[in-house]
Each structure stands twice: as structure tokens, then as C-alpha cells.
């Protein structure tokens, strides 16, 4: 534990996000900052903080030649990599405002953000991104320079330059930018499930305070290794997976992407993982599918390990007494749990899930198998962490307690209200939306319904705008039901509908792999679209939903379903870049299908 707290950089010592970086370089110049995979050498390589500083100086030198003024906005749209850090720190060291973009976002959405934020300089991953974006760029845009990271042979015009040619080979010197910690550092556009995205203005102090508050709830050691795969444009990854490791002196390895994630976990063997629930849900459903193919004894051992492990977790938390079955845990862990944890690299000592609710059955399974899994909660508007569970005070059904410095309370309509140093400065160019979100006393409306226990743990109970009101006046929060449905590997996506109707229905996207085996089981042709409308299939699915929703109140009864195989995606406009379903868009797309579900 000697390394656990001796090298933390406080928010006061850092001052700004760039100050945090300079302090880390000064303290740990030869420590490994980042690990990256090279497609050319087929190996992982390390870069030290001293080397990162040299690269940031080169980027500052190049940016300084672009006639940019402090306060100008610069944007970047690329996958997680060390160049993301070079650009971000170089820009902040020149007093520029960083606007991160989602690599998978639609070109028209990116163009809107570039115009709304009046972006002068744009950093892209590859030329193909520019080719897709260029038709949406108009005279109303202020772009002066587009930098492309990958070294390609595609011809470019005067506006565009490849980073290799743009950067000087001569070593530069790091700038010492001294600014107020409460100054604007970044504008992060919330993808929004309705309407145009809004630019959340976050200061240096906003993000630093949240990172520092989180570190008071769990230790990050100097020899910890994070695996970064959530987009750095996602505020959770940026604050907790980028700035927080700098604050603690830990190392970050950049995953090659979701398709290679399982392999990267095996190769890198991270000790810390920050993820959204969907990652844990996918592992959970894969484990369940593999379990179905095992023999009865293997299934019994697996379930015994998970159940006894969960009881032992409650015992360690002081919520349950000792049980004789605990004596079996060492053997069960060796036979079962160790194999599951080995798939997560075998060294993981902390996993944090945030961004959406984590299904109870998934969290209970992982915790029962020995994974130290903590669920947290936050919003882009709160930089983002509001609360997180602590290892020794973990209520997995909750999103934890508010981190130090953050106050929470329950407002009208059971809405969770937040006030703290992470609360945004406001929405860019949108005073009306700012006033609607933050009241005169500084309390921020989250839009989420919650209850707070006597221990201070926050339990999210619903979403104010997502409540369905049936014709009998029954109010139905669909999110938990949808989460329970997609915990079944058969269903890739789910959305409950029934506003103003007398019963609930579900729009379901089936897992295409599972569909083929199910179709054969029901003697249907999986290649024919009309098979998805088969009555026996619908009866099978509704019965399966009944089992999945068995523990829900009486209102959670799905009477009719619409089945399809084409997923809702960012590209077809039905998902946000943070992978939230755009309910209004899905309903609009499925108007005819929904009408059919409610025909008498």
C-alpha cells in the first residue's frame, strides 16, 4: 500500500488540467504513461511521461503556427490513442477550448457541432472521416485547419494536412499556461435522445474536483493499469479513465477497439476497468449461453460458486451472518471463478460500471464470482461522477453515495437534484436550457427519479421523461424492464411502448445468431422475413418475456411484440453516440408497426 496515496496530485496542486499534466511529468518523468498497440510491429509499446511531454511540446509548436487565440475552440474526432492526449494537452496549454467528438457520430451531427462551437481547427483519425464530413461543411463554418492523424496517400487541399508533415521534427518547449481553474476547458456535446445536442461547458476545476472526489472512495495505485476503450469523448472515460490516472500516477493502455477488446484484456491484463453496463451484460449473456451447453454438474458448480460467493460478499459487507457453505468457496473459486476472472486478464482488482443501470442479475453474478464491481452514476453536466459505491460499502442495486464535495437531494416528482463542484458552467450559447437545468440555488435537475437511503446510497427508480402512462392511469417506468429483457442473449435491443394504451407492447431486435437456432427449433425459415410474424414465435417470445419480468410488479406484462433483425444504430439515427436509444426516432420509424400492435 506504500504507493497507494503517496503520489496523488490534488486538485489544488494541479490548478488546471494542463497543470495536472505538468505536475505528473515533473514527478514521474520516467514512469510509463501509456501503452499502445502498433499495427506495424504487432507489439505493444510504452511511452514515458518525459516522452509524452516532448510530443505535447511538438504539438504546441504546430498549433501555435495556426494563428489561434486563447479561447478559440479546437475539436478532435479520433479513437482512443496517445495522440488524443497530445492534442488535448497541447491545446489546453495554449488556452484553447477542446471540443471532443464521437468517432461514430453522423457527419451532419459533427458538422452541426463544428458550426455551433465555431471550431477553428479539427483533428481527425483518417482521410475517410474527412471525405464523409466535407459535404456537410459550409461557408458558415470557421474551419481553418484540418489535421489527419493517419499517414495516408490520399491527395488533400490547402485546408487539410497530415500530422506527420504538419509536426516539426525539431524538439519544442512546453508552454507554461497559467489560467484560472474555473475557466472554460472543454465543451462536450451531449448526444441527447431528443433534439439537437447541447454543448456542456466544463471548467478545469469541474473535472479535477470530480476526479479527486472519486479517489477518496477507492485507492488507485501507482502500478495500476487501466484499459481504455470507452470513447474519450465520453465524459466518464475522459475524467475517470484519463485525468484520474494522471492524478494517481497510474498507466493507461489503449484498446484497439471493441472487436479486439476480449483479446486486449488477455494481453494487457488490466487491474482497473471502467465500462458501461453493456460490456458486462455481453459477458454475462455469453457466460449464460456457454453454461447452457455444459453438463449438469458444471452448471451446478457454477451456480453454487455464484450463490455462495454472493452470500460471502454480503457477509464481508456486514449484512449477513457466517454460513457453513463458505468453507467450499476456495475449492469452487479454483474450479469455476478463477477461469472466469482469467478471461478478464486475471489481475483485475476494480471494475466500475456507469452511464446506465447495471442489471441486478449481472452484478450479482460477477460479484459472486469475486469481481470487485462498483456501480456509479453521473451526467455529462456533472463532469460526470455524482456518486459511486465504495468497496467496503457496496450496495450493488444502488449507484453508491455522493462523492465528497457533492450534495444530493430529492426534489419534486422524486427527481434527483445535484449541487457540487462538478456542476457545469452551463450550456454553450443556450441560456434558456441552462436556466431550466440549474436553478437559482445552484441545484442541477438530473431528470432521473431516485430515492436516497438512510446510509446515503442513491437508488435510481426511473426517468421523468421516460414514464409511460397507460389509459388506466398506471405509470410505467420502462428502463428497468428493457434492461431485464436485454439480459437475455436472444434480445439485442428492446423498447417498451404503450403510452395512452390499455396494455404494454415491446419492439424487439433479435440477436441474429440466436435467431437461426430458434427458427429451426420452431420449424421456421430464418431467411424469410415473414417468419418474424409467425404466431408460434410471438407466443414463444411473450412467454419468455413473462419469465424475464417475473419479479416486476403486475403492470410489467407485455401483451404483444414486434420482432426485427435490423439493429437500431447511430448510422440509422435511432441511437445516440453514447448508445442510448432515441425513443422518439424509434417510435417514428415504427409507427405502422405500433399501430398494428394496438389494432383490436
C-alpha cell at 594: 405500433
Contacts of 27 (CB under 8 A, 6+ apart): 7, 9, 249
Least reliable range by pLDDT among 227-236, 237-246, 413-422, 571-580? 571-580
DSSP assigned state of 335: I
Architecture, CATH, for domain 15-179+216-251: 3-Layer(aba) Sandwich (3.40)
φ, ψ of residue 278 to 5 degrees: the values are -60, -35
* Predicted TM-score (pTM) of this structure: 0.85
Comma-separated ranges of CATH 3.40.50.980 domains in the chain: 15-179+216-251
What is the Cα–Cα distance from 599 to 392, expressed in whole angstroms?
A: 53
In this predicted model, what pLDDT tens digit does every residue of 37-76 receive, in sequence order?
Answer: 998 899 999 999 999 999 999 999 999 999 999 999 999 9
In this predicted model, what pLDDT tens digit does every residue of 487-541 receive, in sequence order?
Answer: 899 999 999 999 888 899 999 999 998 999 999 999 999 999 999 999 999 999 9
Domain 467-597 has CATH 3.30.300.30: yes
What is the Cα–Cα distance from 291 to 301, expressed in whole angstroms?
A: 11
Count of Cβ atoms closer than 10 Å to residue 348 Cβ:
21
**Average confidence score pLDDT of the chain:** 93
**Residue range 361-371: average pLDDT?**
96
List Cα–Cα distances, 270 to 145, 541, 598, in angstroms. Answer: 37, 39, 50
- Containing 463, the helix (H) or strand (E) segment is strand 458-463
Interior angle at CA 229, CA 227 and CA 234, nearest 5: 120
In this predicted model, what pLDDT tens digit does every residue of 148-191 receive, in sequence order?
Answer: 999 888 889 999 999 999 999 888 899 988 799 999 999 999 86
Please choose, from the candidates 149, 157, 180, 147, the residue with its C-alpha nearest in 3D space to the C-alpha of residue 68: 147
The two beta strands, 272-275 and 225-228, are parallel
φ, ψ of residue 98 to 5 degrees: the values are -90, 130
Comma-separated ranges of CATH 3.30.300.30 domains in the chain: 467-597
**Residue range 361-380: average pLDDT?**
96
In this predicted model, what pLDDT tens digit does every residue of 272-313 receive, in sequence order?
Answer: 999 988 788 888 888 988 898 899 999 999 999 999 999 999
Residue 367 has pLDDT above 80, yes or no: yes
- Containing 89, the helix (H) or strand (E) segment is helix 82-92
Amino acid at each position: 500500500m506504500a504507493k497507494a496515496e503517496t503520489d496523488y496530485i490534488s486538485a489544488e496542486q494541479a490548478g488546471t488540467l494542463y497543470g495536472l499534466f505538468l505536475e505528473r511529468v515533473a514527478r514521474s518523468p520516467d514512469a510509463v504513461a501509456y501503452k499502445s498497440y502498433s499495427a506495424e510491429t504487432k507489439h505493444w509499446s510504452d511511452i514515458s511521461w518525459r516522452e509524452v511531454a516532448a510530443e505535447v511540446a511538438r504539438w504546441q509548436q504546430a498549433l501555435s503556427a495556426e494563428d489561434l487565440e486563447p479561447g478559440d475552440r479546437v475539436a478532435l474526432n479520433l479513437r482512443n490513442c496517445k495522440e488524443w492526449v497530445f492534442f488535448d494537452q497541447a491545446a489546453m496549454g495554449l488556452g484553447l477550448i477542446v471540443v471532443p467528438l464521437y468517432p461514430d457520430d453522423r457527419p451532419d451531427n459533427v458538422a452541426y457541432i463544428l458550426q455551433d462551437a465555431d471550431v477553428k481547427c479539427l483533428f481527425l483519425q483518417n482521410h475517410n472521416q474527412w471525405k464523409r464530413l466535407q459535404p456537410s461543411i459550409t461557408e458558415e463554418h470557421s474551419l481553418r485547419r484540418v489535421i489527419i492523424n493517419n499517414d495516408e496517400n490520399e491527395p488533400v487541399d490547402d485546408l487539410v494536412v497530415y500530422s506527420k508533415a504538419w509536426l516539426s521534427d525539431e524538439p519544442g518547449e512546453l508552454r507554461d499556461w497559467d489560467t484560472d481553474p474555473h475557466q472554460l476547458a472543454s465543451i462536450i456535446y451531449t448526444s441527447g435522445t431528443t433534439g439537437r445536442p447541447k454543448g456542456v461547458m466544463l471548467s478545469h476545476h469541474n473535472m479535477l474536483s470530480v476526479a479527486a472526489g472519486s479517489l477518496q472512495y477507492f485507492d488507485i495505485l501507482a502500478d495500476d493499469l487501466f484499459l481504455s476503450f470507452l470513447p474519450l469523448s465520453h465524459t466518464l472515460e475522459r475524467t475517470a479513465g484519463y485525468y484520474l490516472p494522471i492524478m494517481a500516477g497510474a498507466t493507461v493502455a489503449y484498446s484497439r477497439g471493441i472487436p479486439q477488446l476480449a483479446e486486449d484484456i488477455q494481453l494487457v491484463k488490466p487491474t482497473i476497468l471502467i465500462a458501461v453496463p453493456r460490456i458486462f451484460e455481453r459477458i454475462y449473456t455469453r457466460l449464460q449461453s456457454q453454461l447452457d451447453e455444459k453438463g449438469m454438474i458444471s452448471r451446478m458448480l457454477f451456480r453454487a460458486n455464484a450463490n455462495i460467493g454472493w452470500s460471502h460478499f454480503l457477509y464481508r459487507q456486514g449484512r449477513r451472518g457466517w454460513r457453513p457453505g463458505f468453507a467450499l468457496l476456495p475449492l469452487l473459486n479454483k474450479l469455476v471463478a478463477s477461469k472466469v476472472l482469467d478471461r478478464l486478464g486475471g489481475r483485475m482488482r476494480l471494475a466500475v460500471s456507469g452511464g446506465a443501470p447495471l442489471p441486478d442479475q449481472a452484478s450479482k453474478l460477477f460479484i459472486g464470482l469475486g469481481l470487485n464491481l462498483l456501480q456509479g452514476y453521473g451526467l455529462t453536466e456533472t463532469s460526470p461522477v455524482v456518486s459511486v459505491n465504495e468497496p467496503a460499502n457496496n450496495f450493488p442495486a444502488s449507484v453508491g453515495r455522493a462523492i465528497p464535495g457533492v450534495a444530493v437531494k430529492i426534489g419534486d416528482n422524486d427527481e434527483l437534484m445535484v449541487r457540487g463542484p462538478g456542476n457545469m458552467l452551463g450550456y454553450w450559447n443556450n441560456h434558456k436550457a441552462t436556466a431550466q437545468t440549474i436553478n437559482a440555488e445552484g441545484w442541477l435537475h438530473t431528470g432521473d427519479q431516485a430515492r436516497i437511503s438512510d446510509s446515503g446510497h442513491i437508488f435510481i427508480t426511473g426517468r421523468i421523461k421516460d414514464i409511460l402512462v397507460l389509459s388506466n392511469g398506471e405509470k410505467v417506468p420502462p428502463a428497468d424492464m428493457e434492461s431485464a429483457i436485454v439480459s437475455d442473449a436472444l434480445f439485442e435491443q428492446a423498447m417498451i411502448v404503450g403510452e395512452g394504451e390499455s396494455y404494454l407492447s415491446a419492439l424487439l431486435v433479435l440477436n441474429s445468431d440466436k435467431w437461426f437456432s430458434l427458427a429451426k427449433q420452431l420449424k421456421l425459415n430464418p431467411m424469410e422475413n415473414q417468419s418474424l410474424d409467425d404466431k408460434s414465435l410471438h407466443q414463444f417470445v411473450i412467454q419468455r418475456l413473462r419469465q424475464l419480468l417475473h419479479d416486476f410488479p403486475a403492470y410489467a406484462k407485455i401483451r404483444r411484440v414486434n420482432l426485427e433483425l435490423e439493429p437500431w444504430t447511430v448510422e440509422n439515427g435511432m441511437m445516440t453516440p453514447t448508445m442510448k436509444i432515441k425513443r422518439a426516432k424509434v417510435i417514428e420509424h415504427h409507427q405502422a408497426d405500433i399501430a398494428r400492435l394496438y389494432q383490436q
